[in-house]
Structure 1
Amino acid sequence: MPFANYKLPEAALSKVQKEDLIHKTTDLLVSYFGEIARPTTMVLIEEVPDGGYGRADEVFIMPDEYRAKD
């Protein structure tokens, strides 16, 4: 069973964008493993709250202008 796990800032994608990401990821994995993989492919999108991630000792808070507009 192919498995993809995305960790994204909370509210970075709209519901429609998440659905699109799931479909495109599934199609990508099927292109490698064949149609037999489609029914068992798992795509997980985890949203990380502001302040729950960082890099190089910097804690990130996503600016409102980068948040998805539903």
Structure 2
Amino acid sequence: MPFANFKFPEGIVDAARKEDIILRTTDLFVEYFGEEVRPYTMVLVEEVADGGWGRAGETLTLEKMGLPPKTTS
């Protein structure tokens, strides 16, 4: 079963963009493996809390990435 897992900082990917990521990733797997994998393809789009991930030993935040902080409303 083809599987892709995308992780984004919380709040920067809206529902329409998530749907596009899922559709385009599925289409990519189908292009590579054939139409028969479509029903078995899983794409997971996860949102990670600000500061809940890092790279090379450094915690990443929206501020460090030059993005506006998520507003709570």
- TM interval, shorter chain, is 0.7 to 0.9
Match of 1:47 in 2: 47
User: Alpha-carbon deviations, 1:10-66, whole Å to 9, x = none?
Assistant: 11211000000000000000001100000110000111100101224432221327x
Q: 2:68 aligns with which of 56, 64, 67?
A: 64
TM-score in terms of structure 2 length: 0.79
- Identity of counterpart residues, as a percentage? 56
Pairwise CA RMSD of aligned residues? 1.6
Name which structure has the greater RCO, CA cutoff 8 Å, separation 6+: 1
Match of 2:18 in 1: 18
Question: Aligned to 1:12, what secondary structure does the other structure show?
Answer: coil
* In structure 2, C-alpha distance between the alignment counterparts of 1:56 and 1:22, rounded to whole Å: 28
* In structure 1, C-alpha distance between the alignment counterparts of 2:34 and 2:57, rounded to whole Å: 42
Match of 1:36 in 2: 36
Aligned letter for 1:64? P
Report the number of matched residues.
Answer: 66
Aligned letter for 1:49? A
**Stretches of structure 1 lacking an aligned partner (at least 5 in a row):** none
**Stretches of structure 2 lacking an aligned partner (at least 5 in a row):** none
